[in-house]
Amino acid sequence: MKKLGKALRRVALTLLAIIVLLVITIFGLRWHNGGTYTIMQQEASMGTDAQYETNDSVRAIKGDYLKGFRFIPEERTHPGTVIVYGGSEGSPNYEQAKMISEQGYEVLALYFWGQEGQASTLANVPLDQFDEVETYIKDTIDLPTPITVIGTSKGAEFSAELVAHGFAIDNLVNFAPADHTYFGLDYTTQDELPSFTYRGEAVPFASYRNGDVGATARLMWDMATGYPPSYRATYEGAAAGSGDEAEIDLTGFKGNALFFAGGQDAMWQSDVAARSLAAQSDAFEAYVYPDAGHVFSNDLAELGTGWEIMLGGTAEGGAAAFEDSTGILFDRLARWHGQI
4 domain-assigned: no
The reply to whether 13 falls in a domain is no
In a domain, 139, yes or no: yes
pLDDT at 59: 96
Q: Let me know if residue 165 belongs to a domain.
A: yes
pLDDT 10s per residue in the chain (340 long)? Answer: 566 666 666 766 676 677 776 667 666 657 666 667 777 666 555 555 568 999 999 999 999 999 999 999 999 999 999 999 999 999 999 999 999 999 999 999 999 999 999 999 999 999 999 999 999 999 999 999 999 999 999 999 999 999 999 999 999 999 999 999 999 999 888 889 999 999 999 999 999 877 666 666 676 666 677 777 888 999 999 999 998 999 999 999 999 999 999 999 999 999 999 999 999 999 999 999 999 999 999 988 788 888 898 999 999 999 999 999 999 999 999 999 999 9
Asked if residue 314 is part of any domain, the answer here is yes
Dihedral over Cα of 181, 187, 189, 191: its sign: positive
For CA atoms 261, 267, 269, 273, give the dihedral sign: negative
CA distance between the termini of the chain: 93
Report if residue 245 sits inside a domain.
yes
For residue 122, how far is the Cα from the chain centroid?
A: 10
DSSP letter at 264 equals T
Determine how β-strand 171-175 pairs with β-strand 147-152: parallel
Residue 14 located in a structural domain:
no
Q: Which range marks the domain in which residue 139 is found?
A: 37-337
Q: Which residues of 104-116 are buried (b: 16+ CB within 10 A; e: fewer)?
A: bbbbbbbbbbbbe
> Structurally, how many domains does the chain consist of?
1
Measured CA to CA, the distance from residue 305 to residue 40 in angstroms comes to 9
| H or E element in which residue 85 lies | strand 81-85
CATH of the domain at 236: 3.40.50.1820
Per the omega criterion (within 30 degrees of 0), is the bond before 228 cis? Answer: no
CA 105 to chain centre: 24
CB 80 within 8 A of CB 69: no
Q: What is the pLDDT of residue 134?
A: 98
SS3 180: strand
The rounded distance, in Å, linking the Cα atoms of 268 and 208 is 13
Asked if the structure places residue 1 within a domain, the reply is: no
**Contact indicator for 284, 277 with CB cutoff of 8 Å:** yes
What gap in Å lies between CA 165 and CA 279, rounded to an integer?
19
